[in-house]
Each structure stands twice: as structure tokens, then as C-alpha cells.
């Protein structure tokens, strides 16, 4: 635990790169408790007040463990804002202060990625799939973007596309062909999985964590087994866990799926793409 003390010391590495830094006893105490829990493979529950600097308190011992042991740590949050803070602000700051590469990665769910196979299938059948000019324009926008995107994720797109159109072209666990897919080598999602395998600290949201936990087929899981798990904003995990570990059916959800299959009013939908063609995986 001397390491943790030295990091947060008034003359330590954090102080050297943070003007006006003052040691906070609560922050050091929490970091010590987290470090001890990791060392002993214990469960720890911490309630930290505003201004404690709790993300630093768990990041320092978590990073030390992950880098020394080549283990995997998952940090799960409820809000995008906190994820962004951890991955773009807190971790870069600590990497600079400690002169370390945390090998950290922000993990996005598979639905955030474009599926090239579904995109090209949709392009061939767009007149039957899309209900109106608006949806056609949305699809054209996605098609154009697909030629220039860096990682094929929604994070790389200016603005958010129509959800129904994106549902037609995004990665879906049920229809993913894996290595059998003709686009496997170019697949944005598979490239993301490679990065996940190389990372030591994975920053995710609660929805992704519990949807991954609920998935039955091991080969389709996105997240690896982890050695350390941190739930930040843990007050929200009960509702999120219930949502993903349970089953719910709503009228609006059923109507949405039926509309994707066939919109009676507009005479458009997925069923029209089948016809007398060979069975197609979507």
C-alpha cells in the first residue's frame, strides 16, 4: 500500500502535474480500501461524498493490479458522461502523472456498429425495406458514411440516424455469422473485439455489462471474464440488471417489430425481401 500513499502524497506524481493539489484523506483511504480488496479478492462497498475524487481512488489500484498481473479489470458506469470523463480525462491524466500506459478502452455494445453484410443486403432490397423517402435518405446517408468511417460505430457519425433504419444495418447477435461471414475480415465489430482482447482496463456501461452477462452463448459474448470489477454509480444497477436478466413484453415493442416485418399501410417491410429468393440471414 506504500505505492498508493506515494501516488497521492503532497509531493507525489499527482501533485507534480496538478497545480494546487492537496492530499485528501478520504481519497487516500478509499484507494487503500480498494487496493486491499483487490489484493484479497474481497467485495467492497464504498459510499463516497462529492469532491472525494472517487474515480482516482479506484483507478490507481485497479491500474496497478491490471498492469502488474496482465489481468483484466472492468469499470462499469451508468452514464455516458462518466464514461467519457474516465476514458478521456481521468485515465489520460493518471497516465501522464504515473508515466504509464493503462491500456484502457471504452467498450461500445455491438448494436453501435455497422454490419457490412446487412448494409449491402439492405442496399439491394431498399425499395421493399424502407417505408418512405425519409428512411431512404437516412439509408443513403449511412451508405455514404460507411465508405469513410474509421471504426464503423455510431460514435464516428455526425448526428444520430433514424433508429429503425439503423436497426436494419447494425450488428445483431442473432444474425451475426461470425467467421462464416463474407465480410469477416473487414468487420468493424470484430476489429473492436480484437482491441478488447488486447486491453487491460475496459470501461463499459451497466446495460452492456448485464446484457453480456445474460447472453447464453459464450462465443457471442463481447466482454471477457474479468479479475476486477468496479461498479461506479452502483445505485442504478438493480433496475438495469432486472431489465436484462428478466423478460418484458410491451405493446409498443410488438408493434415496432411487426412494422419492421411488414408495414400494412405503406406495404413495405422485411418480408417483402424474401420472395422466392434463397433464405437470407439478417
Q: Are residues 23 and 153 in the same domain?
A: no
Q: Are residues 173 and 150 in the same domain?
A: yes
* pLDDT of 12: 94
Q: Nearest CA to 114 among 69, 157, 75, 178?
A: 157
The domain containing residue 256 runs over which residues?
Answer: 111-187+251-273
Q: Are residues 239 and 256 in the same domain?
A: no
Q: Are residues 265 and 154 in the same domain?
A: yes
Cβ neighbors of 51 (< 8 A, separation 6 or more) are: 24
**Overall number of domains in the chain:** 2
* pLDDT of 254: 81
Q: Are residues 93 and 27 in the same domain?
A: yes
Q: Are residues 148 and 258 in the same domain?
A: yes
* pLDDT of 100: 92
* pLDDT of 74: 98
Q: Are residues 117 and 179 in the same domain?
A: yes
- 48 assigned to some structural domain: yes
For residues 195 and 57, is the Cβ–Cβ distance under 8 A?
no
- 159 assigned to some structural domain: yes
pTM: 0.81
Q: Are residues 161 and 256 in the same domain?
A: yes
Backbone angles phi, psi at 114, to 5 degrees: -75, 135
- 42 assigned to some structural domain: yes
- 156 assigned to some structural domain: yes
* pLDDT of 275: 58
**Domain CATH code at residue 87:** 3.40.50
Predicted confidence pLDDT, tens digits, the chain (282 residues): 789 999 999 999 999 999 989 899 999 999 999 999 999 999 999 998 877 889 999 999 999 999 999 999 999 999 989 999 999 999 999 999 999 999 999 999 999 999 999 999 999 888 788 878 999 999 999 999 999 999 999 989 988 899 989 999 999 888 889 899 999 999 999 999 999 999 999 999 999 999 999 886 777 789 999 999 999 999 999 999 888 877 667 787 787 778 777 777 777 776 776 654 444 454
Q: Are residues 61 and 144 in the same domain?
A: no
Convert 245-257 to b/e letters by CB count within 10 Å (16 or more is b): eeeeeeeeeeeee
| Helix spans in the chain (H) | 2-8, 13-17, 25-39, 54-69, 80-85, 91-98, 116-124, 126-129, 133-146, 163-169, 188-198, 206-214, 237-245, 251-261
Q: Are residues 99 and 115 in the same domain?
A: no
- 98 assigned to some structural domain: yes
- 34 assigned to some structural domain: yes
- 278 assigned to some structural domain: no
Q: Are residues 166 and 229 in the same domain?
A: no
- 222 assigned to some structural domain: yes
* pLDDT of 208: 94
Q: Are residues 96 and 221 in the same domain?
A: yes
Amino acid at each position: 500500500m506504500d505505492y498508493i500513499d506515494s501516488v497521492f502524497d503532497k509531493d507525489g506524481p499527482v501533485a507534480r502535474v496538478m497545480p494546487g493539489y492537496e492530499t485528501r484523506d478520504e481519497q487516500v483511504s478509499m484507494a487503500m480500501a480498494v487496493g486491499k480488496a483487490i489484493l484479497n479478492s474481497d467485495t467492497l462497498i464504498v459510499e463516497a461524498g462529492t469532491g472525494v475524487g472517487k474515480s482516482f481512488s479506484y483507478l490507481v489500484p485497479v491500474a496497478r493490479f491490471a498492469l502488474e498481473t496482465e489481468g483484466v479489470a472492468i469499470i462499469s458506469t451508468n452514464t455516458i458522461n462518466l464514461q467519457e470523463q474516465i476514458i478521456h480525462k481521468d485515465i489520460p491524466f493518471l497516465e501522464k502523472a504515473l508515466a504509464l500506459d493503462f491500456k484502457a478502452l471504452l467498450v461500445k455494445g455491438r448494436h453501435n456498429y455497422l454490419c457490412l453484410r446487412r448494409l449491402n443486403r439492405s442496399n439491394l432490397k431498399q425499395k421493399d425495406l424502407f417505408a418512405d423517402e425519409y428512411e431512404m435518405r437516412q439509408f443513403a446517408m449511412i451508405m455514404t458514411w460507411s465508405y469513410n468511417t474509421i471504426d464503423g460505430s455510431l460514435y464516428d457519425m455526425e448526428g444520430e440516424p433514424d433508429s429503425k433504419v439503423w436497426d436494419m444495418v447494425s450488428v445483431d447477435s442473432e444474425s451475426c455469422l461470425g467467421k462464416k461471414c463474407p465480410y469477416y475480415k473487414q468487420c468493424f465489430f470484430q476489429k473492436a473485439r480484437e482491441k478488447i482482447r488486447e486491453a487491460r482496463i475496459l470501461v463499459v456501461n451497466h446495460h452492456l455489462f448485464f446484457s453480456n452477462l445474460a447472453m447464453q452463448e459464450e462465443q457471442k459474448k463481447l466482454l471477457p471474464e474479468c479479475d476486477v470489477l468496479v461498479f461506479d454509480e452502483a445505485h442504478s444497477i438493480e433496475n438495469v440488471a432486472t431489465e436484462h436478466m428478466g423478460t418484458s413484453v410491451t405493446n409498443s415493442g410488438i408493434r415496432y417489430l411487426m412494422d419492421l416485418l411488414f408495414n400494412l399501410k405503406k406495404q413495405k417491410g422485411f418480408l417483402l425481401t424474401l420472395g422466392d429468393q434463397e433464405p437470407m440471414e439478417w
